[in-house]
Amino acid sequence: MDIEIWFDFASNYSYLSVMRIEELARARGVPVAWRPFLLGPVFKSIGMDNSPFVTQKLKGAYVWTDMERQCRKYALGWTRPASFPRRSILPARIATLADGQPWQAEFIRRVMRLNFVDDHDIEDSAALSQILDSLGQDGQAILAAAESDDVKQALRARTAQAQQRGVFGAPTFFVGDEMFWGNDRLDDALDLAAGQR
């Protein structure tokens, strides 16, 4: 069975899973289905105005220490973003448009690195276009297509689907109907998916 990874480009714990999932999934023969969505509307629908890492001071302070340690453990680059959470609508639209394309996964990882390694605005068209070009795509054309009504609607529908399935944070993994929340559950979710092949 495949594993769905529901993520937001603004989410730091999503960064950890996005960077790790393909290698771990490949080792178990599990296909990965990418599910970009927007955490903002999900948070709002459950009465939260912002990330808990912003609204809860002690937890917020802890999270950046935790991220440093986790990135060291997983040998991932890490820079605490000067702006958090960053607006992530444009790259989420591009990742939605890229569904089923062979460059989707690498695009997603590059945008995550733009946010959490380069500490750069992830709605910067020039930076996104450059990433797309470097993946052999037509950056300008894809940026234009990402602003089409179809793509906007597809991302809205994806986000609504997250709410319907009980998603309340990111990353969230689904293996069939079994939901797993957080980077710390990636291995458990993969084990379940591998056992159900």
With contacts defined by CB under 8 A, name the span among 29-37, 133-141, 150-158, 179-187 that binds its own copies: 179-187
Contact letters (x/-) for its own copies, 22-61, by CB under 8 A? ------------------------x---------xxxx-x
| Candidate list 41, 140, 188, 197; residue touching its own copies; CB under 8 A | 188
107 within 8 A of 90, measured Cβ to Cβ: no
For its own copies, the closer of residues 56 and 83 by Cβ is 56
Restricted to residues 144-173, the positions that interact with its own copies (CB under 8 A) are 166-169
Restricted to residues 56-85, the positions that interact with its own copies (CB under 8 A) are 56-59, 61-62, 65-66, 69, 73
Q: Give the shortest CB-137-to-its own copies separation in angstroms.
A: 37
Which residues are CB-contacts of 125 (< 8 A; sequence separation ≥ 6)? 90, 143
Q: Dihedral sign, CA of 22, 25, 29, 32? A: negative
Q: Which pair of structure tokens corresponds to residue 146?
A: 């990402």
The residue among 112, 48, 110, 38 whose CA lies nearest residue 81 is 112
Which residue, chain included where needed, has tokens 């689904």? 174
- CA gap 137, 94 in Å, rounded: 12
Query: How many residues of this chain interact with its own copies, rule: CB under 8 A?
Result: 22
- CA gap 35, 55 in Å, rounded: 26
**Which residues of the shown chain bind its own copies in the complex (CB under 8 A)?**
46, 56-59, 61-62, 65-66, 69, 73, 166-169, 179-182, 184-185, 188
